[in-house]
Amino acid sequence: MILGIDTSVGTSVSVVDPDGVVRAAESSQNPLGHAEVIGTLIARALEDAAVTPALGVTFRTDDSITHVAAGMGPGPFTGLRVGIAAARAFALGRGIPVIPVVSHDAVALGYLLQAAVTGDDEQLIAVVTDARRREFAYTVYDGMDADGLPVRATEPALIPRDDLDARLAELGALRLDAPAVPAALIGVAASRALAAGRTIGPDDALYLRSPDVTLPGAHKRVTA
């Protein structure tokens, strides 16, 4: 049973069962206030899914959370770290593993699953999210692999807003702007990776841009 968490764009929480079926999903589209809502959304998702947090292996049942899937970005520094910290803290407190997932993979998976139904899954797609400061983050995908997971044709990268369309035209990729990243599909991607015995995300967050806060320099010498 997987608890999915993503705060790369808004805040989203889900519970996904071992078969990849979404049992609960809660979200807030507010691009700010991640820390204020993350705890409430986790509690609601667990209640809606009728599952228990389970403290340790000894107290685990068939309806206990056994893994936490964390959306690792790309995303802004402050917002993204809230979800990753929440996922790690939840997992640490319960002695269960964290499954890292590239956040753009969840958006791509949703599109590719729908495209597979309609038979329109041949074209390269580019998942695009607003990175602020007149930049976009984008990742290009080339269909799904045998494990039912999106295949990255490029890794996540930053690009100036004015340059994005020309870059995607050069690649021949369909642009998919993502106003939100669904934690439900973070959980589904994690369940498929778990079933395949694969690691599909990085251990560290995909910030793509360094934080604004920097270490202070040395103090100036004061002489008489």
pLDDT value of residue 57: 45
Residue 62 sits at φ, ψ, to 5 deg, of -65, -20
> Which tokens in the block code for residue 202?
């990085």
pLDDT value of residue 62: 57
The domain limits of the chain are 2-196
pLDDT value of residue 50: 92
pLDDT value of residue 61: 53
Listed residue (155, 153, 151, 138) closest to 189, CA to CA: 151
Task: Outline where 2-76 has alpha helix (H).
Answer: 34-49
Q: What share of the chain is helix, strand, coil (3-state, %, to 5)?
A: 35, 25, 40
> Which tokens in the block code for residue 99?
């499954």
Q: Report DSSP state, residue 62.
A: T
Q: What is the DSSP string of 123-186?
A: SEEEEEEEEETTEEEEEEEEEE-TTS-EEESS--EEEEHHHHHHHHHHHTEEEEE-S---HHHH
Could you tell me which CATH number the domain at 2-196 has? 3.30.420.40
pLDDT value of residue 170: 97
pLDDT value of residue 210: 61
pLDDT value of residue 31: 72
pLDDT value of residue 58: 43
> Which tokens in the block code for residue 147?
């494990």
pLDDT per position in the chain (224 positions), as tens? Answer: 999 999 999 999 999 998 999 999 999 977 778 889 999 999 999 999 999 775 544 444 557 899 999 999 999 888 899 999 999 999 999 999 999 999 999 999 999 999 999 887 678 999 999 998 899 999 999 999 999 999 999 999 999 999 999 999 999 999 999 999 999 999 999 999 999 999 999 999 998 876 554 555 555 555 55
